[in-house]
A and B are shown apart, each in its own frame.
Chain A
Amino acid sequence: MANLGTQENPLLVAIVGSGPSGFYAAEALIKSDINVKVDVLERLPSPYGLVRSGVAPDHQKLKQVIALYQKTAESPDFNLIANVNVGTDISIEELCQSHHAVIITSGAETDRKLGVPGEDLNGSYTATEFVGWYNGHPDYRNREFDLSHDVAVIIGQGNVAADVSRILSKTVDELKHTDIAQHALDVLAESKIKEIHVIGRRGPAQAKFTPKELREFGELADCNSVVRAEDLILNPESETELQEKSNIASKKIYDQFCEFSKREIDIGKSKNCFFQFLMGPKELIGSTKLEKIILEKNQLSGEAFKQSARGTEETIELEAGILFRSIGYRGVPIANIPFNDSWGTIPNEKGRITDNNGSNIPQLYTAGWIKRGPSGIIGTNRACSVETVECLLEDIAKLDSETNKAGAKAIYTILDRKNIRHICYDDWKKIDKKEIERGKLKGKPREKYTYIDEMLSELK
């Protein structure tokens, strides 16, 4: 048989997940100088992962990254097999039989828990659920969020926390021309929330927003951004951190907090968003649903850049009807793939999946958040996927080039036998076009379909 990666014997790769890492892996494979056929499997009928269902609707420009993924998808060596759940509809073992290599890019689908009593009370939610809901993700379509209270609390000070807080802070007019799902806009229009508390366990010098996201809070139509001046007093270690020239992002964030602290509260605005620091939830209290939160004050300990927050036992109470935790994502395990439960990632070495003894498992690779944990932004995944693809291509001589691999055909046989409706990229383009048409009528970039059946019925 001809060498693997030639025209007669192309390298067949299955990628599990069509978010940024999946697309960057596909792009790197297709752009390499060997012959490849890439099959990307996606659980939903719609591709693009968190670019579609994570990136906030009022950040449309970021979603333009999809244009690059579309270019990859138009390659004759690319094939999308969507609406297929790897692990239940088809197994990793079956993919290893039909393809020379499998890259798992399934991302980090769930949230880290706070680990405090009352966390599961009605009214206490994950940022993931809320973000998925307002972005029209079918998994979260039927979630209900009760916004009839005055006070909402967000635990965490990263960009997801910023997105959730900003969506709660904005008016309907600020959102109605975005691609926010209509069901979410309708509920937000009735929101009674007046106070939004964004709470970080460390100080204002350690908040993890990007400067740009924080700046947006200074431009809200009907919401003040409030920081108390006394909360901006820094310990010497934090002063040192901000003086370090390479730490310019933290300096910009701190300066932005200072600017907020000097602003007069505009009483004409109906909402206030409070940024608060050095506190963590100790307990969530309520009889049937969340009524108040016990917050413990923290202090920092450790040297500059390694400071951690420790509870001081001093507590305060905050009455609140709704809480969102946004303290990091976690990957979920896939059947028969090793999983590091404390990190929520797949153990790997530069993208080569390793077993419990640290040895590489032939054929299996990973990239993106499930490989390295939920850090970085969209572009970070490009370098991550490129690294994985480089390893895969280095290993090409070790991959089985003799056995006849059927590629996509074998997948279709299995899915058809189980009567599973799978959709291809051209099918998705029809759904995409419909969504854009629906959006046009309302002056939105698109109106997403939020039920899987709705999407599939567009293909009949």
Chain B
Amino acid sequence: MTTIVTDNCKNCRFTDCVTVCPVACFHYDDEMLYIDPDTCIDCSACIPECPVQAIFEGDDIPEDQEHWVEINAEKSAALPVCEEQMEPLPGAEERKAALGF
């Protein structure tokens, strides 16, 4: 089982997920968040928190998002941990609306 952040987070980065992560496994860059698969315990607490439903676990990962498994692992290894909630990126609300949420 792996839990990953996918497409919808890009240019939103709401970080609501970070506040409920029991193990601080979210990492970030200027665009979005990534989950460190070695730290994540697959508790799925973050999944319902995401306002744009960008987080998926194991069996629920849509086929066209599967490439994110590798990206999450690679990116998280090199990026800083997101310890607490940050301001969403500029334009996040518009993007959320455009995504239909």
Contacts and interface: CB of A to CB of B under 8 A. Distances in A.
A49 to B, nearest CB: 13
A393 B99 CA distance: 39
B86 interface: no
- The number of chain B residues touching the other chain, given as a range, is 20 to 34
Interface string A148-166: 0000000000000000000
Contacts of B11: none
Interface string A285-328: 00000000000000000000000000000000000000000000
Contacts of A377: 20, 22, 43, 45
Nearest to B101: A245
A4 B23 CA distance: 30
Interface in B11-39: 19-24
A264 B82 CA distance: 47
Contact of A68 (B23, B53, B101): B23
A379 B43 contact: yes
B44 interface: yes
Contact of A249 (B24, B42, B48): B48
A261 B65 CA distance: 29
Interface residues of chain B: helix, strand, loop or mixed (majority): loop
A64 interface: yes
Interface stretch (A265-273, A380-388, A394-402): A380-388
Nearest to B100: A245
Contacts of A252: 60
Nearest to B22: A379
A382 B41 contact: no
Nearest to B57: A212
A61 interface: yes
A383 B57 CA distance: 22
B95 to A, nearest CB: 15
27 contacts: A20-B22, A61-B41, A62-B43, A64-B23, A64-B41, A67-B23, A68-B23, A68-B24, A215-B59, A245-B100, A245-B101, A248-B48, A248-B53, A252-B60, A377-B20, A377-B43, A378-B22, A378-B45, A379-B20, A379-B21, A379-B22, A379-B43, A382-B20, A383-B19, A383-B20, A386-B19, A386-B84
